[in-house]
Amino acid sequence: MTKLSVNINKIATLRNSRGGDLPNVVQFAKDVQRFGAEGVTIHPRPDERHIRYQDAYDLKPEVYTEYNIEGNPIPKFLDMVLAIKPTQVTLVPDSIDAITSNAGWDTIKHKDFLVEVIQEFKQNGIRTSIFVDPDVKQIEGAKATGTDRIELYTEAFAHQYSLENYDAIKPYTVCAQLCNTLGLGINAGHDLSLDNMKFFKENIPGLLEVSIGHALISESLYLGVENVIQMYLQRLK
């Protein structure tokens, strides 16, 4: 079964809006695991507008499933990940002012940089994943970096699915098939939701993990967190 990792950035956004500690991100991480989530994802950014770097340290002893830290490997991020040693680090080429992730790596142009970063993480026992667009050349480039996995950037699929253009899944399926041939693990994330999750899962052979944040938290406002997690797990079977 594909693992569900819950991205808790939005919980930190809500907390930060009032300047206190409600909701508490550590408690939320403990709760989603208790409700059945198989991982917790955070994506700290340099301005700490949602997840703070201290949150990453505070979460370490409480995440007993898979701990996935996403981000652009700037020096501060590198130091944090090497100190915490999460289960997985997902490299995302965010610009400093990006509202959310909006593009995958050019794994060919940035090969040397990615090779260096990935080697250091792997030497420290941290599984690596690279955020990529559904492009076979970028998948081949990712393989050349030595990464363990790639994370397919799924915003384009999600948008087209909402317009009933179901053929939008095709480049993702092709990339997944290539990953399976190359021995690359497959993760996916961005705008996946209860509406499109089952269809996506059925068309991505070898899908190991999805990271869901914005949609899952939004859906939970109406349906409840525990219920929503169970609904995702059903779609991922």
Q: What ranges do the domains of the chain cover?
A: 3-235
What per-residue string of b and e applies to 137-155 under the rule 16 or more CB within 10 Å gives b?
ebbebbbebebbbbbbbbb
User: DSSP string spanning 130-151?
Assistant: EEE-S-HHHHHHHHHHT-SEEE
Nearest CA among 127, 115, 122 for reference residue 187: 127
Strand partners, 88: 68, 127
Measured distance CA(53)–CA(56) in Å, rounded: 5
- Identify whether 190 is a catalytic site residue: yes
The alpha carbon dihedral of 91, 24, 15, 18 has a sign of: negative
User: Which tokens in the block code for residue 200?
Assistant: 């996506």
Contact between 23 and 15 (Cβ < 8 Å): yes
Q: What is the pLDDT of residue 101?
A: 54
**110 counts as catalytic:** no
Give the model's pLDDT for residue 103: 77
Instruction: Kindly list the averaged pLDDT for each block of 10 residues, start to end, along the chain of length 237.
Output: 96 96 98 98 93 97 98 95 98 69 85 97 98 97 98 97 98 98 98 98 98 97 98 97
Of 43, 50, 66, 151, catalytic: 43
Active-site annotation holder among 38, 70, 209, 219: 70
Is 50 annotated in the active site?
A: no
Catalytic residue selected from 50, 66, 190, 209: 190
Residue range 3-235 in CATH 1.20.120.420: no
Burial of 43 per CB tally in 10 Å (0-12, 13-18, 19+): buried
186 contacts 149 by C-beta, under 8 angstroms: yes
pLDDT at 96: 58
Give the angle 7-10-12 at the CA atoms, nearest 5°: 100
Tell if the pTM clears 0.85, that is, is over it. Answer: yes
* 8 A C-beta contact, residue 150 and residue 204: no
The pLDDT of residue 94: 78
